[in-house]
């Protein structure tokens, strides 16, 4: 499956952004999807993930209550709504797909990746 992330940008602390991860190529609804982020010099870290039918979601602690992951299997898109953004959310955000399940938090568990979209939050 091919993934394309979009929606990043430069915002101020407290603002919101919605990232999109558009899929194509295979049956999208058979994959769980996760969002990760990476800053230079650090490992890519897990942010959130969603199960195949959208009923199961997981988040890293630092984004709980601020970020919401959702999906539209008809449009083959996964969204990451990010509210109350903080400077520490600044990173390149990547979406990944895996056929194993929604609660996968390790990078190696994802078989397909999008190209990343930059999110910069100024203080």
Least Cα distance to 94 among 111, 69, 63, 117 occurs for 117
Please return the burial class of 108, using the count of CB atoms within 10 Å of its CB with bins 0-12, 13-18 and 19+. Answer: exposed
pLDDT at position 44, please? 97
Position 101 pLDDT exceeds 90: no
pLDDT, one tens digit per residue, over 42-98 is: 999 999 999 999 999 999 999 999 999 999 999 999 999 999 999 999 999 999 999
pLDDT, one tens digit per residue, over 22-46 is: 999 778 999 999 999 999 999 999 9
pLDDT at position 92, please? 98
């Amino acid at each position: 499956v091919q993934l394309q992330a979009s929606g990043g940008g430069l915002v101020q602390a407290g603002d919101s952004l919605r990232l999109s991860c558009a899929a194509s190529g295979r049956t999208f609804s058979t994959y769980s999807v996760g969002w990760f982020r990476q800053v230079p010099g650090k490992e890519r870290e897990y942010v959130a993930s969603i199960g195949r039918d959208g009923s199961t979601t997981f988040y890293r602690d630092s984004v709980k209550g601020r970020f919401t992951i959702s999906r539209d299997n008809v449009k083959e898109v996964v969204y990451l709504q990010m509210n109350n953004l903080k400077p520490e959310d600044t990173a390149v955000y990547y979406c990944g797909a895996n056929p194993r399940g929604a609660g996968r938090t390790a990078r190696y568990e994802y078989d397909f990746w999008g190209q990343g979209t930059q999110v910069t939050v100024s203080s």
